[in-house]
A and B are shown apart, each in its own frame.
Chain A
């Protein structure tokens, strides 16, 4: 039976020597996860039967078997999560497979210096995600009430004949929409740049649509931050502070973490 090698992540061999890898079941639920040292870097892997886990069969499962994908995605994530609590880990993409150990060795060896740099960046730091949501209706009220231009315009419209009022109101609605978007961006960007002060790095991701989140309020910000462990609590307290101050005006904050450094481990 031929074995493929499934790669979960990479850790510094120095750390692997100090601390045993916990006993974890592999991707197929049968075999075990084990360490595979390649010089300064140790790969965390498991074996997979090449017939059951060929490219075609994995693609087939991903496309047509949601349950399989859920199970395996959770497995991959949970394995990397557990390891990230013990080791500095570069998390690999879901379903990264090698035909044999020689091929894995080549891939790791040819990226060794970049990987070592990445370890240096992420060691002792945590990745956190912050999603900011906003209830547009609530904020719209505030925007349209507190904006002098809009108030003046509204006053002007009320003096017009009925027929004209309709079209002018439509125009005004558009202006309010634009103001709302600008206000949302301005507020979110300000928060981001403030939170950025707690972090070593901060990246902005595309916010998700309501189809994805399944929520009524809109996601206005999706940011990821790499934060030194000792500063995480301050970072989260600041978010809690924002939440307290802004909840009533329709803002919600959702922080999640610590994540394995998915967004700060890439090297190109």
Chain B
């Protein structure tokens, strides 16, 4: 497998995604775009929140987990929806 393929297949952390789609996606004149100005503060809070989720995951899984992967989030979602006994909309 090429280096590219092995990196490509890695899970991407939510924070990396938010960093680009909230901050860097192209903004063209739209009737509504959740603007940077509006999001900046939220964004900061989010980072803290995500960081705390992340350390929680790390605490649970030991030092192996260094990033929050979509897989880990999926698991958490599953647990949450099981706990609230709602149908699991995340399952394929």
Contact = CB atoms under 8 A, between A and B. Distances in A.
Interface size for chain B: under 10, 10 to 19, 20 to 34, or 35 or more residues?
35 or more
Interface in A21-57: 29, 55
A193 interface: no
B3 A236 contact: yes
A232 B48 CA distance: 33
B64 to A, nearest CB: 13
Given A62-B39, A70-B14, A262 B28 contact: no
A63 B42 CA distance: 7
A73 B17 contact: yes
A232 B29 CA distance: 33
Interface residues of A, number: 56
Interface string A96-132: 1111000100111011000000000000000001000
B30 A236 contact: no
B24 A110 contact: no
**Secondary structure of the B side of the interface?**
helix
A233 B50 contact: no
A240 interface: yes
Contact of B26 (A66, A93, A103, A208): A93
Interface of B: 2-4, 7-8, 10, 12, 14-18, 20-22, 24-34, 38-39, 42, 46-51, 54-55, 58, 66, 68, 70, 73, 77, 80, 89-90
Interface of A: 4, 7, 29, 55, 58-59, 62-63, 66-67, 69-71, 73-74, 76-77, 80, 90-99, 103, 106-108, 110-111, 129, 208, 211-215, 232-233, 236-237, 240, 255-259, 262-263, 265-267
